[in-house]
Amino acid sequence: MSRTFVACKNKVKNRGRAPDAFLDELVEWARGAPDEIFTVNATFDIYSSVAAQLGPWRGLKHRKAAMLEVLRVLGGFESSWDWLADIDTNNPTSNTPCTAEAGIFQCSGNSMGFDASLKALLMEAAGKTDCPTFRTETKNNHRFAIEYCARLLRFTVKHHGPIKRREINEWLRKDALAEFESFL
């Protein structure tokens, strides 16, 4: 289903504007995503990190929309919304199959160590849990990439540099969150 995005088309730093196809995929994923990804937990997670910009939280639909807004901005920061983005050549630690980033959100296979559910998600999607499989799956399976990153952000805000350094925060927009929420 094609939607007309306005607020979600705001520029992200010097990365440009998120493609409509990406925004549509985010909304479609969130409409069917398990509620557990968005519910309150006791961890300092992405919701804790962006509460000043996107909160206060008004329920599950609002939290889903906030996650989509975070992913919209993060995808711009990490890869300029390129599903096939490869290793960050500026990161000297990206030198093994498990530390090399891949895909639109630039997750690396070693992030599966944050919680067993992340490895289980890869097993369900690809039938294997090795790092080369992770890299391939995160580049080619968009639903997997979105859900994996959303789940990862519930366990840590330290895996992605732009989140850890709070670089994304000034680009997060409440009007984009409201637009996402209207599509949910």
The residue whose two tokens read 């990206």 is: 94
Average pLDDT over residues 43-52: 97
Residue 33 has pLDDT above 90, yes or no: yes
Q: Residue 71 domain-assigned?
A: yes
For the segment 124-151, what is each residue's pLDDT rounded down to a tens digit? 999 999 999 999 999 999 999 999 999 9
For the segment 63-92, what is each residue's pLDDT rounded down to a tens digit? 999 999 999 999 999 999 999 999 888 888
How far apart CA 109 and CA 6 sit, in angstroms, is 34
pLDDT cut 90: percent of the chain above it: 93
How far apart CA 68 and CA 8 sit, in angstroms, is 10
Of the listed ranges 9-18, 40-49, 93-102, 149-158, the one predicted with least confidence: 93-102
Per-residue pLDDT, 94: 87
How far apart CA 161 and CA 77 sit, in angstroms, is 10
Model pTM score: 0.97
Q: Count the domains in the chain.
A: 1
Residue 1 has pLDDT above 70, yes or no: no
State the average pLDDT for the chain.
96
Contact 175, 55 (CB under 8 A): no
Q: Residue 151 domain-assigned?
A: yes
Domain ranges, residue 39? 16-183
Q: Residue 172 domain-assigned?
A: yes
Per-residue pLDDT, 65: 98
Per-residue pLDDT, 8: 98
Per-residue pLDDT, 81: 98
Task: Identify the CA nearest to 26 among candidates 119, 149, 136, 124.
Answer: 149
Q: Residue 80 domain-assigned?
A: yes
